[in-house]
Amino acid sequence: MKEILYKIKNLPPEINRTHFWSYDKEKTGLPAAIIIEQVLKYGTLEEIFTLFNLIDADEFMNIYRNTVRPVFEGKGSYLVYNSLSKEEQKTYEQKNLSRSPGLLKLFDLILPIMYKIKTQKID
């Protein structure tokens, strides 16, 4: 399956383009993992809700658990971490302790609730 790239210029206006300052905003398409990482790291709660509504709920949660959360645990940038060999990733993990424990707790609480609401799996 081919990865979907989201054009920065086509993101909803509620999402601040300055989160993607190093990319050409007119031409660049980014994978959901980078967009989610940047918005969770720098965005407001409104931006997070907007992004969650833009991306499929299952895809969003899968990316958060398997890609973005490890970054917040101290594994560094998605692009840097995934470009390393398995051995280099272990060394990188040891050098980069968690920088965002408060954010992790917050996201671990609110994202499952947002998922249940979006998919209408409310208990």
Q: For residue range 85-104, what is the model confidence (pLDDT) as tens digits?
A: 777 766 655 555 445 567 77
| Contact residues for 48 (Cβ-Cβ < 8 A; gap 6+) | 39, 40
pLDDT of 59: 92
* pLDDT of 15 higher than 50: yes
pLDDT of 97: 45
Distance CA 87, CA 58 (A): 30
pLDDT of 7: 92
Q: For residue range 18-65, what is the model confidence (pLDDT) as tens digits?
A: 988 888 888 888 999 889 988 988 889 899 999 999 999 999 999 998
Distance CA 68, CA 29 (A): 18
109: which 2 tokens? 């609480």
How confident is residue 71, by pLDDT bands cut at 50, 70 and 90?
A: confident
Number of folded domains that form the chain? 1
Distance CA 17, CA 89 (A): 30
The helix/strand/coil state of 12 is coil
Distance CA 83, CA 45 (A): 30
Task: Please report, as a single letter, which amino acid is at residue 50.
Answer: T
Better-scored residue on pLDDT, 102 or 76: 102
Contact indicator for 14, 47 with CB cutoff of 8 Å:
yes
Task: Please report, as a single letter, which amino acid is at residue 100.
Answer: S
Q: What DSSP assignment string belongs to 22-62? A: TS-TTT-EEEHHHHHHHHHHH--HHHHHHHHHHS-HHHHHH
Domain that holds residue 74: 5-119
Mean pLDDT value across residues 61-75: 82
pLDDT of 105: 82
